[in-house]
Amino acid sequence: MANRSKKVVLSARVDPYLKAALELLAASRKEKIVKVLETFIENGLQDLSVINPFLHEKPRTKISFMNVFIAIWTEDEVLYKVRAGALGPDYAGETLWRQAMVVVGYDYFKGDDDLYGDMNGLTEKWGYKADYNYSLNLELVRSEWSTVEDYVAFIESNKPFEPSYEDYKKMRDQSRAK
């Protein structure tokens, strides 16, 4: 898996006047446009509020999207995706949610590894706790993640046909043996 801590390229089309505004702001601050954009993105994610999936008081409170993200972030791409998806489609989108549900929903992937752990220190700091304590075999999840992704793509493109994960793997193996 690639090292996810390095900078990545993000390509976006913007209106010419926005590019001119970015250039002007960057020049006035003696910064590069990229730095200005990073600041805008981070501030925008911080300002976006979502229902807190980790505190279960009534009524449900809202928190910054970045606080949720910080709680689940890890450089382990598969672990990060399962954590995000297990929060639900409102936080991770339908496809990632379905992928995570395959992992947390089948006894096949059960193990001793706590999916959320201490949420990057936020369990103690802010009292965060996941709705459910998922114990997984993360090595098995990592080794089969591409198969899980393929399975969910297969299910999404072949509705209403929905074999179990185990049946899908058998069908796939049989088709490869021919």
Q: Which pLDDT tens digits describe the chain residue by residue (178 residues)? A: 444 557 888 888 999 999 999 999 999 999 999 999 999 999 999 999 999 888 777 788 898 999 999 999 999 999 999 999 999 999 999 999 999 999 999 999 999 999 988 887 777 777 777 778 899 999 999 999 999 999 999 999 999 999 999 999 999 999 888 7
> What residue spans define the domains of the chain?
75-177
The pLDDT tens digits for 72-112 are: 999 999 999 999 999 999 999 999 999 999 999 999 999 99
Q: Return the closest-CA partner of residue 83 out of 115, 112, 111, 51.
A: 115
pTM above threshold 0.85: no
